[in-house]
């Protein structure tokens, strides 16, 4: 949104408190202040950090800072909500939870389902990889994993919770009463935020050079033609817990405040000396200049500028801080890896698995630079011990997390061995073709397709006289290609524009999956597709083939060869000698092929049973990635980090057959989406995202529960014996 389109945020709060609106001569942004003599906006690098070495009257640890915020918001009428996973399994457009509002997009923000509470407060661990290469040099301003503390209010035309004035007032009360900051020390910058399909004006509070929160007033939604006003207006705030803890303690970097003793432990294990405290504080106050990387400035030039301000030789400065910056990056990355794996990530070459592997391999590269002979799993174990006090789920997943990290480190070293040979051949060819450089696009492709880090490419290529220029933000460029999902466009039925003239079909197969005959009225025929007012024929979907059978009219049988659902209308594709007889209003008898229907029901329920059994044997990280049901055999695709052993297969099969022998009840029922997620969690989305507001749940006693639209038996005993024929691990 251009500057001319922005309106001044002339809030009553600012007017009543005597705030003055000014324009920063450095960044050109508008801000509000109580200090008539203030000229700068209060955000670094327009002015340096002034809290380093000072801090706030009250010092907070991470746990103390989190609890102080949540308790404060509870005292102001907000309901505390537990954190969501860092893997955004409820979204089909994102892999990682990058902000607290992601928890409530798109259904709550669109007003389709109610929020879990209104207003609410949460402290949400978030992962963002877009600033990966800046982690360390900016001393904690940039992180890949951070906690976004927030308070959200969802205003509708029928219910106003609070809006701009109260939002800013809540921050001001928190900053002055909880943090102990003086009124005149706070500045409020005007801005504009967008993300996840929504947007709106925002206010960014600054304290001592540090942006500690963003207060977004979400009132726009994205459309193909641009932004339009939303019916609902949403207060979307984000308070940086790590930044607030850093601000309170005034340590040279955020890492000392956030990671406490782990900083010294990592420095010792990685063999890096910590710089002199005075130098570190002086450098940290100027470290915000590193943000210039975002504007295209070279890191080397920024380092020279900082060195001049410190009256140091740039090489001496580099020697003092570069090792520390790398240790900070490893601290950050290993924490992010820990949370991703604990929440179910399986390193791979796709989706969130790719992003997890990216962090693991970047960490291993940094360890290589430091010449640290330390297994990555040892560092991850330290993270589990440290953060497991506040997040016990990390300790529960400890064994699995460490096993995965060890496997990934082994795979990484094998990848490097193979990569050296590949790069050697490529460099020889380029040299022969008199091409003396490997492009950035090729570097990214080599990393994407073969997992070869650019530093290895550069080292090997140099032996053949081929040059490589590694972008300073290389890993950010790689992550940007993978952080957002590209949903596969649904297959468009040729009938999608032809069914609107007909009412929605009544689905008898949900009322009674054992019903094999029924009578229904013909509504119309499109080509060879018959539309009825109701049907017991199940349409293809969710990996389950459609039913087949017959429609009968006046003794004439029409073979049903395929059934599909288009916009909640069921189309029965038929073969017959005279389709003209199927006129609107005619009553037909439908007959479903019994053995096929019952076999598919047994197989569908069996896949649920096997998935639950696999989770019990292999771990909670197991997730269904696909399935295909058949009459005689079915296929189930699951995520796992290594090949399944014969003994594990035997145990999975045994548990599955035990479930059959127990003859457990299989219940199907409908729940509002928010209620289903609150009751069962996001584990219900094993078959993929369900883009509806009311969800059909299939529950097998306390053994398994999933969101599913297929047909199922009523008791597990009907499945019969389950035999797992084979297991194959596909390439990552």
Q: Domain check: are 240 and 294 in the same one?
A: no
User: Is residue 439, in this structure, part of any structural domain at all?
Assistant: yes
pLDDT digits (tens, 9 = 90+) for 356-412: 999 999 999 999 999 999 999 999 999 999 999 999 999 999 999 999 999 999 999
294 pLDDT band (50/70/90 cuts)?
Answer: low
Mean pLDDT of 241-245: 98
pLDDT attached to residue 225: 86
By C-alpha distance, which of 372, 375, 456 is closest to 421?
Answer: 456
For residue 381 the two structure tokens come to 């174990």
Instruction: State phi, psi for 595 to the nearest 5 degrees.
Output: -65, -40
Q: Domain check: are 176 and 222 in the same one?
A: yes
Q: Domain check: are 410 and 534 in the same one?
A: no
Q: Are 62 and 228 in contact (CB under 8 A)?
A: no
pLDDT attached to residue 461: 86
User: Is residue 373, in this structure, part of any structural domain at all?
Assistant: yes
DSSP 43: B
pLDDT attached to residue 490: 59
Average pLDDT, the chain: 91
- Identify the burial level of 183 via C-beta atoms within 10 angstroms of its C-beta, where 0-12 means exposed, 13-18 middle and 19 or more buried: middle
- Identify the burial level of 196 via C-beta atoms within 10 angstroms of its C-beta, where 0-12 means exposed, 13-18 middle and 19 or more buried: buried
Q: Domain check: are 340 and 200 in the same one?
A: no
User: Is residue 315, in this structure, part of any structural domain at all?
Assistant: yes
Q: What is the CATH number of the domain that holds 152?
A: 3.30.930.10
Q: Domain check: are 450 and 575 in the same one?
A: no
pLDDT attached to residue 689: 72
C-alpha distances in angstroms, 132 versus 135, 141, 286, 349, 701? 6, 11, 20, 19, 44
Q: Domain check: are 321 and 467 in the same one?
A: yes
Mean pLDDT of 274-288: 87
Residues with Cβ < 8 Å from 658, sequence gap 6 or more?
none
4 pLDDT band (50/70/90 cuts)?
Answer: very low
Q: Domain check: are 58 and 116 in the same one?
A: yes
**DSSP H or E run through 373:** none
- Say whether pLDDT at 569 is over 90: yes
Pick the residue with more confidence: 467 or 521? 521
Answer with the one of 532, 565, 592 that is the final residue of a domain.
Answer: 592
pLDDT digits (tens, 9 = 90+) for 61-101: 999 999 999 999 999 999 999 999 999 988 878 889 999 99
pLDDT attached to residue 1: 41
DSSP H helix total and E strand total for the chain: 20, 25
Q: Report d(CA 256, CA 246) in Å as an integer.
A: 8
Whether the full predicted model's pTM is greater than 0.95, yes or no, is no
Q: Domain check: are 518 and 395 in the same one?
A: no
Pick the residue with more confidence: 51 or 439? 51
pLDDT digits (tens, 9 = 90+) for 196-240: 678 899 999 999 999 999 999 999 988 888 899 988 999 999 999
Q: Report d(CA 391, CA 309) in Å as an integer.
A: 42
pLDDT digits (tens, 9 = 90+) for 490-510: 566 788 888 989 999 999 999
Q: Are 621 and 343 in contact (CB under 8 A)?
A: no
**Which three-class secondary structure state does DSSP give residue 603?**
helix
Answer with the one of 562, 592, 622 that is the final residue of a domain.
Answer: 592
Q: What is the CATH number of the domain that holds 665?
A: 3.30.980.10
Write the Ramachandran bin of 271: left for phi over 0, alpha for psi from -120 to 50, otherwise beta. Answer: left
Q: Report d(CA 665, CA 398) in Å as an integer.
A: 34
pLDDT attached to residue 486: 66
Pick the residue with more confidence: 457 or 169? 169
Percent pLDDT > 70 in the chain is 97
Q: Report d(CA 139, CA 247) in Å as an integer.
A: 12
Write the Ramachandran bin of 77: left for phi over 0, alpha for psi from -120 to 50, otherwise beta. Answer: left
C-alpha radius of gyration, the chain, whole number: 30
User: Is residue 494, in this structure, part of any structural domain at all?
Assistant: no
Mean pLDDT of 339-363: 91
**Number of domains present in the structure of the chain:** 4
421 pLDDT band (50/70/90 cuts)?
Answer: confident
Pick the residue with more confidence: 375 or 576? 375
- Say whether pLDDT at 619 is over 70: yes
Answer with the one of 188, 220, 253 that is the final residue of a domain.
Answer: 253
DSSP 174: I
pLDDT attached to residue 496: 82
Q: What is the CATH number of the domain that holds 540?
A: 2.40.30.130
User: Is residue 557, in this structure, part of any structural domain at all?
Assistant: yes
Q: Domain check: are 558 and 644 in the same one?
A: no
Percent pLDDT > 90 in the chain is 64
Q: Domain check: are 246 and 294 in the same one?
A: no
Task: Write out the DSSP string of 250-262.
Answer: T-SSHHHHHHTTH
pLDDT attached to residue 3: 40
Q: Report d(CA 243, CA 207) in Å as an integer.
A: 10
- Segments forming the whole domain that contains residue 214: 3-253
3-state helix, strand, coil in the chain (%, to 5): 40, 25, 35
For residue 152 the two structure tokens come to 């959200």
User: Is residue 649, in this structure, part of any structural domain at all?
Assistant: yes
Task: Write out the DSSP string of 581-600.
Answer: G--TT-EEEEEE-HHHHHHH
pLDDT attached to residue 6: 60
User: Is residue 173, in this structure, part of any structural domain at all?
Assistant: yes
Q: Domain check: are 565 and 418 in the same one?
A: no
pLDDT digits (tens, 9 = 90+) for 524-560: 999 999 999 999 999 998 889 999 999 999 999 999 9
User: Is residue 597, in this structure, part of any structural domain at all?
Assistant: no
pLDDT attached to residue 382: 98
pLDDT attached to residue 727: 87
Assign 3-class secondary structure to 381-417.
HHHHHHHCCCCHHHHHCHHHHHHHHHHHHHHHHHHHH
Q: Domain check: are 332 and 419 in the same one?
A: yes
């Amino acid at each position: 949104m251009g500057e001319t389109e922005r309106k001044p945020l002339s809030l009553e709060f600012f007017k009543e408190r005597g705030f003055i609106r000014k324009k920063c001569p450095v960044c050109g942004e508008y801000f509000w202040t109580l200090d008539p003599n203030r000229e700068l906006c209060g955000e670094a690098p327009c002015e340096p950090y002034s809290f380093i070495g000072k801090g706030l009257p009250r010092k907070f640890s991470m746990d103390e800072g989190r609890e102080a915020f949540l308790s404060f918001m509870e005292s102001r009428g907000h309901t505390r909500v537990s954190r969501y996973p860092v893997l955004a399994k409820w979204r089909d457009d994102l892999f990682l939870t990058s902000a607290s509002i992601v928890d409530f997009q798109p259904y709550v923000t669109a007003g389709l389902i109610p929020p879990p509470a209104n207003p609410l407060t949460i402290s949400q661990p978030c992962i963002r990889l877009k600033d990966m290469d800046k982690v360390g040099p900016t001393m904690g301003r940039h992180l890949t994993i951070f906690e976004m503390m927030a308070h959200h209010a969802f205003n509708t035309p029928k219910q106003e919770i609070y809006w701009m004035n109260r939002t800013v007032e809540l921050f001001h009360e928190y900053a002055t009463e909880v943090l102990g900051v003086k009124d005149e020390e706070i500045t409020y910058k005007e801005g504009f935020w967008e993300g996840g399909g929504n947007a709106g004006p925002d206010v960014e509070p600054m304290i001592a050079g540090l942006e500690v929160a963003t207060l977004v007033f979400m009132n726009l939604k994205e459309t193909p033609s641009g932004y339009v006003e939303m019916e609902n207006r949403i207060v979307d705030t984000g308070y940086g817990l790590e930044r607030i803890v850093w601000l309170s303690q005034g340590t040279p970097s955020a890492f000392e405040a956030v990671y406490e003793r782990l900083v010294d432990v990592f420095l010792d294990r990685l063999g890096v000396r910590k710089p002199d405290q005075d130098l570190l504080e002086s450098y940290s106050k100027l470290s915000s200049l590193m943000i210039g990387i975002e504007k295209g400035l070279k890191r080397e030039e920024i380092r020279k500028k900082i060195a001049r301000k410190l009256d140091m030789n740039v090489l001496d400065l580099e020697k003092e801080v570069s090792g520390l910056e790398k240790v900070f990056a490893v601290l950050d990355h290993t924490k992010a890896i820990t949370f991703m794996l604990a929440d179910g990530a399986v390193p791979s070459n796709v989706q969130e698995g790719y992003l997890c592997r990216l962090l693991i391999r970047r960490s291993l590269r940094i360890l290589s630079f430091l010449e640290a002979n330390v297994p990555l799993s040892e560092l991850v174990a330290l993270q589990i011990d440290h953060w497991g006090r506040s997040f016990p789920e990390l300790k529960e997943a400890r064994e699995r997390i460490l096993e995965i990290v060890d496997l990934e480190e082994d795979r990484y070293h094998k990848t490097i061995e193979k990569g050296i040979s590949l790069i050697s051949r490529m460099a020889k060819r380029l040299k022969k073709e008199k091409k003396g450089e490997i492009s950035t696009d090729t570097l990214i492709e080599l990393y994407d397709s073969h997992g070869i880090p650019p530093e290895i490419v550069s080292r090997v290529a140099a032996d053949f006289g081929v040059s490589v220029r590694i972008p300073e933000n290389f890993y950010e460029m790689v992550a940007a290609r993978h952080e957002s999902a590209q949903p596969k466009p649904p297959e468009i039925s040729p009938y999608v524009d032809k069914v609107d003239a007909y009412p929605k079909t009544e689905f008898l197969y949900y009322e009674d999956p054992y019903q094999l005959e029924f009578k229904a009225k013909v509504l119309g025929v499109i080509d060879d597709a018959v539309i009825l007012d109701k049907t017991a024929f199940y349409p293809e979907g969710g990996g389950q083939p459609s039913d087949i059978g017959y429609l009968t009219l006046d003794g004439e049988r029409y073979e049903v060869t395929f059934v599909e659902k288009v916009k909640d209308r069921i189309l029965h594709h038929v073969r017959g000698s005279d389709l003209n007889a199927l006129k609107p209003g005619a009553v037909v008898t439908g007959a479903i092929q019994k053995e096929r229907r019952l076999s598919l029901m047994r197989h569908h329920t069996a896949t649920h049973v096997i998935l639950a059994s696999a989770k019990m044997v292999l771990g909670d990280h197991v997730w269904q990635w696909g399935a295909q049901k058949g009459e005689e055999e079915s296929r189930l695709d699951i995520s796992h980090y290594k090949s399944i052993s014969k003994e594990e297969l035997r145990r999975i099969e045994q548990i599955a057959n035990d479930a059959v022998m127990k003859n457990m009840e299989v219940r199907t029922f409908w729940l509002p989406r928010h209620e289903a997620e609150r009751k069962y969690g996001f584990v219900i989305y094993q078959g993929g995202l369900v883009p509806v507001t009311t969800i059909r749940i299939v529950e097998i006693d306390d053994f398994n529960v999933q969101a599913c639209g297929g047909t199922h038996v009523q008791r597990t005993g009907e499945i019969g014996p389950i035999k797992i024929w084979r297991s194959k691990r596909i390439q990552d």
